[in-house]
Amino acid sequence: MDVATSERYRALTDRQKVFVTAYLASGNAVKAVREAYRCKSDQTARVMTYQLLQHPRVADCIAELKGKTERDIQIEGLRRDLWKCRPGGYERARFLSMYLQLTGLLKPPTEAELRPDRQAKSRAKASKITPANPLDRVPADATPLADKNGIVRGYKTADGKFVQLADVEAL
């Protein structure tokens, strides 16, 4: 791939462009960083090298200019994104699903799987559950105790004992 025709190359900053061209010419990333940026020490150059090679636009541009296919570039991007996501999170699950689909290890979901039957949802919403009368939870010989909102939170038995009811929310 030619540098002049690459959209990814044109999207880079001027210094990133210098880094990419120097890196592709020499193969030495630390030397390329020293050409593109003013680094005062070798440690700074190594850190900047790592940061630049991890930068999504720079990494994708280098991969494209090295001749990788668009599919391979997308797979590498998904790998980077997977490492950044919180384990067990929704984002990680989505990226993992896309990664497995691109690598051919998982078949893509069908349209029916992506959009569950909306009628089943509307039927579930239509069946309303009537909340139980809170006084049904209080024995006949006890005195109900309600909070300032009128919600029965417990009762006092005939023996004078206080009983607290569990908080049950109506659906």
Q: Where are the domains of the chain?
A: 7-103, 134-164
In the numeric block, the tokens 């039957």 are attached to 117
Please write the tens of the pLDDT for every residue from 10-25.
999 999 999 999 999 9
* Encoded tokens for 162: 């206080």
Q: Is the pLDDT of residue 143 over 50?
A: yes
DSSP string, 14-32: HHHHHHHHHHHHHS-HHHH
DSSP string, 85-137: SPTT-HHHHHHHHHHHHHHTSSPPPPHHHHS--HHHHHHHHHSPPPPPPGGGG
Task: Return the closest-CA partner of residue 131 out of 165, 100, 168.
Answer: 168
74 alpha carbon, distance to own chain's centre: 17
Q: What is residue 171's predicted lDDT score, i.e. its pLDDT?
A: 42
Q: Is the pLDDT of residue 122 over 70?
A: no
The pTM of the full predicted model, rounded to 2 decimals, is 0.55
Burial class (CB in 10 A: 0-12, 13-18, 19+), 150: exposed
Q: 35 and 19 in contact (C-beta within 8 Å)?
A: yes
Average pLDDT over residues 150-158: 81
Q: What is residue 35's predicted lDDT score, i.e. its pLDDT?
A: 92
Q: Which long-range contacts (CB under 8 A, 24 or more apart) does 103-108 make?
A: 103/75
Query: Which DSSP letter does residue 164 get?
Result: E
Amino acid at 52: L
Highest mean pLDDT among 69-73, 99-103, 111-115, 152-156: 69-73
168 alpha carbon, distance to own chain's centre: 33
Judged by average pLDDT, the poorest of 32-46, 102-116, 120-134 is 120-134
Please write the tens of the pLDDT for every residue from 51-103.
999 899 999 999 999 988 888 888 888 888 888 888 888 888 888 888 888 88
